[in-house]
């Protein structure tokens, strides 16, 4: 699988940065995109990289980002749709703005990315699409209505894409992490601590305790699952849980 052209969204930190490092170490050219500073994540890669800043909630951004990769290297052959966000609120306190914001970033932006890269993948007879979803794509989670709905939708997109492209050489899979030791989880810890009066350490322990292994998942453990999807042509249409055994399926 070495020597392919990869695009990782949300690659500035956390899971996206870990995936970019691993793809680079495997011999791929890696394009990184995110809204923030990409320089540290790009510098941590060992191979050829391309950093393209952009806000995927802007409909024009996907065309600009993918077009830049194509102009520099050629068609995207590996897409890791990792960019996303979360928020916690009771259903009755989830505003229309909250709902639309999470759907736009967690579902519509990946859809646009997939739609844009698929023609080149099919034409080349090879493609790997991996969406970083969540265990919230596998079951309902209280106080996470907008996030859960967006991740359920993302899993549906992956499954429909896999079914439509079966036999073309293009696969589509979702990786579904539990609570991962990332800056996004740090924000969740801060929210829990502020709302409940727990200390940050106690709040972090609550999230760790949601997984039977009793700890947060690491970004490299999620990257392991992404690399499995990239390297295996017979795995498609799947949702691979990386959650310490929280959801058995």
Which sequence positions are flagged as catalytic?
147
Which candidate, 45, 41, 51, 33, places its Cα nearest to that of 112?
33
CA 209 to chain centre: 23
Phi, psi of 207 (to 5 degrees): -70, -40
Which candidate, 118, 195, 176, 131, places its Cα nearest to that of 157?
131
């Amino acid at each position: 699988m070495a020597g392919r052209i990869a695009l990782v969204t949300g690659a500035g930190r956390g899971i996206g940065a870990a995936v970019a490092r691993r793809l680079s170490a495997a011999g791929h050219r890696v394009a990184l995109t995110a809204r923030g500073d990409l320089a540290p994540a790009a510098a941590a890669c060992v191979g050829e990289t391309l950093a393209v800043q952009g806000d995927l909630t802007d409909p024009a951004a996907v065309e600009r980002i993918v077009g830049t990769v194509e102009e520099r290297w050629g068609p995207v052959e590996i897409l890791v749709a990792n960019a996303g966000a979360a928020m916690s609120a009771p259903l009755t306190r989830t505003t229309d703005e909250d709902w639309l914001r999470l759907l736009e970033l967690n579902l519509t932006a990946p859809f646009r990315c997939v739609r844009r890269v698929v023609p080149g993948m099919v034409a080349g007879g090879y493609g790997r699409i991996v969406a970083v979803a969540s265990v919230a794509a596998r079951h309902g989670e209280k106080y996470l209505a907008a996030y859960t709905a967006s991740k359920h939708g993302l899993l549906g997109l992956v499954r429909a894409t896999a079914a439509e492209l079966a036999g073309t050489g293009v696969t589509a899979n979702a990786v579904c992490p539990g609570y991962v030791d990332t800056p996004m989880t740090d924000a969740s810890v801060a929210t829990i601590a502020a709302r409940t009066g727990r200390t940050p350490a106690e709040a972090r322990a609550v999230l760790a305790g949601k997984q039977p292994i009793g700890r947060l998942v690491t970004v490299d453990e999620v990257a392991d699952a992404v690399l499995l999807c990239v390297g295996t042509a017979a795995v498609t249409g799947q949702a691979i849980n990386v959650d310490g055994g929280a959801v058995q399926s």
